[in-house]
Amino acid sequence: MYFLDPQIDALLNASDVIVFDLSGLLVDDEPIQLQATNDALAPYGLALSEEEWIEVCVGHKPSEYLPRMIQGSSSADIARLIEYKDTIYEELIAGRAKDLARPGALSLLRYARILEKSTALATSTTRTGATIILGKNGLNIFNSFDIVITGDEVKRAKPDPEIYNSVRSQLGDALTYLAFEDSPSGVASARGAGMSCIAVPNRFTANQNFTEADLVITSLDHDAAVLE
């Protein structure tokens, strides 16, 4: 048993594959993502408030929301901007990733591996950003995932189910999947791929609508409670 609440633990134990989101779910890095984005947008005279970040960006990949902010930019311009944002993000998060892990995140991942469940990461973050967080200079858990799929490796962003369908196609359609997500768009993506999904809101998503989730819980820690 991992979760003390039997409702949560039953979903976990019934699943062959556990799929995690990254930003906002495993790590509380949304404020850093926002700062890096605003620093990258500063030459354009643009800045996002927390409210705009929540409404437009959380749960979506940069290649989706940045073109809407910078009208008329070419795909090459956007690619360079994303690379610049990732560079800033790397500088801001250097040495801090371990302090940003959400409660229970690492212990739940370890538990899944002990039970020999397959684990996957399905994140809107870019490959560079995910490597920064998960690699040796971050949480050092990159190799804890059987597969990692990032936002720049799929054509359609969450809430489209493409990223979760990609997980399913690589690990096997006959398996039972459980996703953990922190945003409604992530929940919709997982559910659209036919997966069970537990929502774990953070302060950026706490007031959003999670009615599509199988359960909404307070954390990834052992003593997590189900929210009504």
pLDDT tens-digit readout, 151-194: 989 999 899 999 999 999 999 999 999 999 999 999 999 999 99
Q: Check whether the bond before 159 is cis (ω within 30° of 0).
A: yes
Share of the chain above pLDDT 70, in %: 100
96 pLDDT more than 90 = no
137 pLDDT more than 90 = no
Distance CA 175, CA 195 (A): 10
In a domain, residue 35? The reply is yes
What pLDDT score was predicted for residue 94? Answer: 79
Distance CA 111, CA 40 (A): 38
Q: Are 119 and 18 in contact (CB under 8 A)?
A: yes
212 shares its domain with 116: yes
Q: What pLDDT band is residue 12 in, cutting at 50, 70 and 90?
A: very high
Q: Could you give the 3-state DSSP secondary structure of residue 213?
A: coil
Q: Are 57 and 183 in contact (CB under 8 A)?
A: no
15 shares its domain with 126: yes
Average pLDDT across the chain, whole number? 94
170 shares its domain with 104: yes
Distance CA 221, CA 102 (A): 9
In a domain, residue 118? The reply is yes
Domain of 115, CATH number, reads: 3.40.50.1000
Among 75, 93, 111, give the residue marking a domain's end.
93
Q: What pLDDT band is residue 126 in, cutting at 50, 70 and 90?
A: confident
β-sheet bridge partners, residue 121: 20, 148
What pLDDT score was predicted for residue 219? Answer: 97
The CA-atom distances, in angstroms, between 161 and each of 52, 76, 152, 158, 194 are 24, 26, 15, 6, 9
228 pLDDT more than 80 = no
59 pLDDT more than 80 = no
Q: What pLDDT band is residue 147 in, cutting at 50, 70 and 90?
A: very high
Among 93, 108, 138, give the residue marking a domain's end.
93
In a domain, residue 183? The reply is yes
The residue that leads in pLDDT, 228 or 209, is 209
Domain count, the chain: 2
Distance CA 41, CA 203 (A): 24
Among 69, 93, 117, give the residue marking a domain's end.
93
pLDDT tens-digit readout, 197-218: 999 999 999 999 999 999 999 9
Q: Taking residues 136-145, report their average pLDDT.
A: 92
In a domain, residue 223? The reply is no
| Domain boundaries, position 45 | 30-93
What pLDDT score was predicted for residue 166? Answer: 98
Q: What pLDDT band is residue 73 in, cutting at 50, 70 and 90?
A: confident
Q: Encoding tokens for residue 180? A: 């953990």
β-sheet bridge partners, residue 149: 122
63 pLDDT more than 80 = yes
In a domain, residue 22? The reply is yes
Torsion angles phi and psi, residue 47, rounded to 5:
-155, 135
In a domain, residue 227? The reply is no
Q: What pLDDT band is residue 37 in, cutting at 50, 70 and 90?
A: very high
What pLDDT score was predicted for residue 58? Answer: 83
In a domain, residue 40? The reply is yes
What pLDDT score was predicted for residue 176? Answer: 98
110 shares its domain with 155: yes
